[in-house]
Structure 1
């Protein structure tokens, strides 16, 4: 089975979600999919679909590099289930907690440190790193 066929549902979902600059290319037995999702929900849905097609990503035949659209200065909503989001001194769970952002609070993106950690600033001026999974562009 060609990789484009195996992951056709994922590619269709990315198109339907409006992933910007969507690119697919096969090289050396690996399908590379990249682009920019409009929201954290779209990003999470694509990863969940990938896990459905290839449980635990065991095949090793897909490299998905989907970013989330958000630029410095963008307003982000804290999307924890119901708890506060820890703001840390460094982009790691080892970093000291320097503040908290409440569930549904709006914060400002300072910079995307990497795919997992973003530097944010609260309305109260608390600044530090938060886990990007719990931040959604507005």
Structure 2
């Protein structure tokens, strides 16, 4: 199911991104999935078959614009989710130990960590492990 073009346009416009057919379809794919998506999930979910560099370029543009954020979970495979993650909006990610789905959790995370003055923190990620509702049923 393709999400309304009005919503796709609104999201792309809000981040100053061009409204190409590929970007509209990418936005639609993220809106349809509540869980974070790997590159292969995204590639498989696209109706148009794109080469890797085109898809990575668009994902990078989305990430730089703050439309999506990258999650590095336990698997070593980067996953992407709708919404921006930066130091002013830290949130946790839930990883199901059974089915390995990754999803953003609501609420912010407060971490009191002492960091060396020479270190520049770009991002903080909190991963919560457990069993999701689908696997726990």
TM-score by length of 1: 0.27
Task: Please give the TM-score of this superposition, normalised by the length of structure 2.
Answer: 0.27
Greater helix percent: which structure? Answer: 2
